[in-house]
Structure 1
């Protein structure tokens, strides 16, 4: 494991604060309900990431209750269980080293496309600008292990889209930062609408 130096601790604190705050945008843009959905962010310079705790309501999220994990999904610090999607996020970070943020939602319209197993066709220029074409559908996968992460990586590798509709599940987005991945989630719902 990476030694948690004072400098690394500062980076972890910054990512915890960023990830906790960004969850407010998921609520603002009506991409989540209750405790569903999550955001994670890679810690710069370390094989670590921060993710939302499982079962904690959005109004109760704080930097202190964000969960620190290694790239195998093992909890390093945190008083709660991590998101049930932690293994998927970890797989993405291990296999897509340029990704620094991952978001998962069950947003209404994009998830409807996922339930139908249909990609969102590219019919407006805004979608072409944001995703480079259609938003693809990834394979159905069981929650809780790396299967979802494998499907995300398999679907998005070589594709310009930063969003994938996981069959019968919901939306996952990736980005160069957690905020960039949130933007992709907001835009995916907008074009799905």
Structure 2
């Protein structure tokens, strides 16, 4: 059996609990169907991450059947869940963790409205203040890539490096989001679908009205650095 320090074992257990529980948010917000989609979380203090097993129904997910992997996407043997295959997107998640060390969580969905934008190969323009707040601008389109190897991960990193957005629409595929932790990445996935739906409906009604860049910058700074803090600068 693979041995880790007591501190890392605790971190792994906490990450398993969090990742397993967060999958319920994907179904709650109707971002996934059947067994599609996944959440992963980096294990703090270790070159490891936890990800959903492949082909398991959401109602059957538990901390014990989440899969522990190294940052090359290899399953750690003799650990809970290691008898199952990890998500088919594991290589993509691993590539992101290796190349974006600030990322602590990755989420993938095929949520309806956002995936419709991806099917058109079109970024979502920043035309509502909620997008400026959360994403700091447009949600970009990433390249088409085949599932199963690092190609999708490379496309995510290429598109989001130096970009404010925590979401990318991979062309003809769906949504990938990143975050400081798994919960943050799930929030980004929820917000991506919300703004994708709103902007789609707005475009059916008429011409979209752009937000000036200086206003986008101001809104993003306020939401990211001021919103939810008390006068001492501490989060409420």
Give the TM-score taking structure 1 as reference length: 0.98
Is 1:60 the equivalent of 2:60? Answer: yes
- Please list every run of 5 or more consecutive structure 2 residues that lacks an aligned counterpart in the other structure: 198-236
Distance 1:79 1:18 in 2: 21
Across the two proteins, how many residue pairs are aligned to each other? 192
How well do the aligned residues superpose, as a CA RMSD in angstroms?
0.9
Higher strand share: 1
- Please list every run of 5 or more consecutive structure 1 residues that lacks an aligned counterpart in the other structure: none
Aligned to 1:155: 159
Q: Could you say what secondary structure the match of 2:158 adopts?
A: helix
- CA drift of 1:3 comes to 5.2
Aligned to 1:72: 72
Distance 1:164 1:3 in 2: 36
Q: Could you say what secondary structure the match of 1:75 adopts?
A: coil
Aligned to 2:200: none
- CA drift of 1:5 comes to 1.2
Aligned to 2:100: 96
Q: Could you say what secondary structure the match of 1:54 adopts?
A: coil
- CA drift of 1:7 comes to 1.4
Structure with greater contact order relative to length (CA < 8 Å, sep ≥ 6): 1
Task: List aligned pairs for 1:1-193, cutoff 5 A.
Answer: 4-76=4-76, 77=79, 78-193=82-197
Give the TM-score taking structure 2 as reference length: 0.80
Structure 1 stretches of at least 4 aligned residues deviating more than 3 Å after TM superposition: none
